[in-house]
Structure formats: structure tokens, C-alpha cells
Amino acid sequence: MAGKKIGILAMQGAFLEHQQALSRCGAEPVLVRTARDLEAVEGLIIPGGESTTIGKLMKIFGLDSLIIERVKEGMPIWGTCAGMILLAKEIADSQQPHLGLMDIKVKRNAYGRQVESFETDLEVEGIGQTRGVFIRAPYVEEVWGGTKILSTYLDKIIMVQEGNNMLATAFHPELTTELDVHKYFLAMA
């Protein structure tokens, strides 16, 4: 884990919190804004934020096709909240720009508006109990192929993994003091 160069897509959203969590884990966080930044990392986190904006910016800066190529070559990727939406092959009721990498269908803003945000304890396969912050969070409506469900909350799918290099969470572990989900991702990298 220590010393691994992990990128955080730093175009919009909660990238600074991921940077701090990765540093606390002993990894070397790299803010990714260009193709050159992306080439330098061993894994990538797409943070929470506004998924439509992040998707458009990835496209404008030509990072979308580069990310897809790197992930298909095996680079680990983790999407939190908006990042989960961007990784999905299908987004319910939306045609927004996205990467379409994971065999999941997501529903945007499924847990309500910003004022309905909440924090709760979660049970995660391979981790145990962890804390999750939900802010206008999506959830996964459907999985197929090799996608594995790692956690649910109130019968909704909130954490999935596909293969050994793709991870997505509807919640924000970076907004808690716990590092277990970051360490789980680092083990994938």
C-alpha cells in the first residue's frame, strides 16, 4: 500500500478529501487533470461531485477515452457517488456522458435531496463494519456479468466490485475518519 501512486480525478468534487485519506494510508496521491497526470498513476479514484459536470470535463480534456483504455488494461479504478454513476454502463433516465465500464445500472440522486443527506454504519463484505456518508447518493438498480455486490443499505445496492480492478460506492468513505475502504482499494492496486 505504502508509496503507491494513486490518482484522484481533480476536475470537480470531493477530491481533496480523498487526497487526505490516501496520504493517511501511506499512498502517494496525485491530482489528475491531464493525460500526463493519468499516465503517472497506478490506480484512479473518481470522487463524488456533480456527475454530469465531471463527465463533460473528462470529455473536453480527452481523459474519458484514456481512462477507459487504462482500466481495460487493468488499472484499478474506484468511483464514489458521482464516480459510481460515471462508471456505470447504464444510468436510469439519463443520457449524460459517462465511462460505461461497469456492468451496473444506477439511479441518480436516489436517496433524495442534499438536505436529506445522512451518515450510517454499513456492513461490507471483505471489510466488515464501516461508516458511510450519503449525499444525494445513487444506488445500483441492477448488476450483471461478473459484478459482485459488496454492500446494501435498506435493500438497495450501495457498493459493488467488478473483476479485480473496478470498485464503486454510493457513499463517501472519504468524509469519515475511517480508512478501511481506501485500504481495500489500495490492496486492489
CA dihedral 55, 61, 66, 67 (to 10 degrees): -30
The catalytic position among 17, 25, 162, 174 is 174
C-alpha cell at 59: 470529455
Tell me, yes or no, if 98 is annotated catalytic. Answer: no
How far is 44 from 48, CA to CA, in rounded Å? Answer: 13
How far is 91 from 107, CA to CA, in rounded Å? Answer: 6
Q: Identify the CA nearest to 14 among candidates 66, 54, 71, 43.
A: 54
The catalytic position among 18, 98, 172, 182 is 172
The catalytic position among 81, 98, 162, 182 is 81
Tell me, yes or no, if 81 is annotated catalytic. Answer: yes
CB distance 158 to 168 below 8 Å: no
Tell me, yes or no, if 174 is annotated catalytic. Answer: yes
CB distance 184 to 160 below 8 Å: no
Q: Identify the CA nearest to 165 among candidates 179, 146, 144.
A: 146
Residues labelled as active-site residues = 81, 172, 174
